[in-house]
Amino acid sequence: MPTTKPILVIGSLNIDLVARCEHLPRGGQTVFGTEFFTASGGKGANQAVAAARLGSRVAMAGCVGDDQFGRDLLAGLRRDGVLCDAVQAVERPTGTALITIDARGSNTIVVISGANSACDTSLVDRALADGGVPGILLLQHEIPEEVNAHAIRQAHAAGWFVVLNPAPARPLTPALLPLIDVIAPNETEGAALTGSSDPREAARHLLAQGVRAALITLGGEGAFFCDAGGAWRCPALAVQAVDTTAAGDAYIGALATALAEDRGVVDSLGFAAAAAALAVTRLGAQPSLGTRSEVEEFVARHGAPVPKPIAV
């Protein structure tokens, strides 16, 4: 299905170094792994690929190293149809992520930013200028804070719909919050940002600070969405998780695709939940992300979650 608006992702590109084991090691403990593999990742690149595979027109802006990891990442993005003119090669190693996954699909992740730290405001300005008609802008927290802040200000002024996935969590500048159309932390990040582990309270807190809408993803418990018009709870699909590494990125990429097709946020939640559920049944970050036909087939088998209005 063609989209009506472009999607621009400004964010991180990483190579994931993944080890599978029966259980995650505790502090000071050594465990034997069962498998090792590498995969393309980085929250920004994952979200770009997720949206592109679902049929969106996607451009990626960020930095990679002038090394084999960087070349591999760019090749993968281009195979998925992501425009990479705004991805720069810099004199730093490509970002990497060390990921450990246990038998239940739970993970731990250590990110080494590398080239992602070289993203600057001039990169943002070029990407927005080349983006054409304003569409959906996706941002995360794996590039420098001042670069994200500049992107939010410039994109809002130019008429882009700004979606911030604040992962990993870090304090947000209060003046930026009214410029964000949807802020989408997971439950842990929402608690870190607001001090409340209750998703309803966290969402209300974010709205009170000025964001236009708050979406708290809750893993297997679904998602909670709140804006000035009300609140909705969207359940998750019950599946056997193999690897949860890119579930949130699959969700955000699908949400952006639905928004680019001029669906409302509430109507987009079920589609996003289905894309995330499909992703957790597969190994790897970008390898787990489904195409449009795969998500539609998945929905045909399992159904699409339906958001329900709730009292706030």
Residue 44 and residue 151 in contact, taking contact as beta carbons nearer than 8 Å? no
Please give the Cα distance from 133 to 136 (Å, whole number). Answer: 10
* Count of beta carbons in the 10 Å neighbourhood of residue 72: 15
Q: Which residue in the list 16, 249, 262, 267 is annotated as catalytic?
A: 249
Residue 235 and residue 222 in contact, taking contact as beta carbons nearer than 8 Å? yes
Please give the Cα distance from 144 to 146 (Å, whole number). Answer: 6
Closest CA to 68 of 2, 104, 15: 15
- List b or e across 139-156, with b for residues whose CB sees 16 or more CB atoms inside 10 angstroms: bbbbbbeebbbbbbbbbb
- 249 belongs to the catalytic site: yes
Please give the Cα distance from 165 to 139 (Å, whole number). Answer: 6
Closest CA to 183 of 148, 154, 225: 225
Please give the Cα distance from 176 to 157 (Å, whole number). Answer: 12
Residue 163 and residue 272 in contact, taking contact as beta carbons nearer than 8 Å? no
Both tokens of 185, joined, read 């932390």
Ordered strands of the 107-112 beta sheet: 33-41, 14-21, 95-101, 107-112
Helix, strand or coil, per DSSP, at residue 89: strand
Q: Alpha helix locations (H) across the chain?
A: 43-53, 68-79, 121-130, 145-158, 187-194, 199-208, 247-260, 265-280, 292-302
Please give the Cα distance from 164 to 255 (Å, whole number). Answer: 12
Which residues are part of the catalytic machinery?
Answer: 249
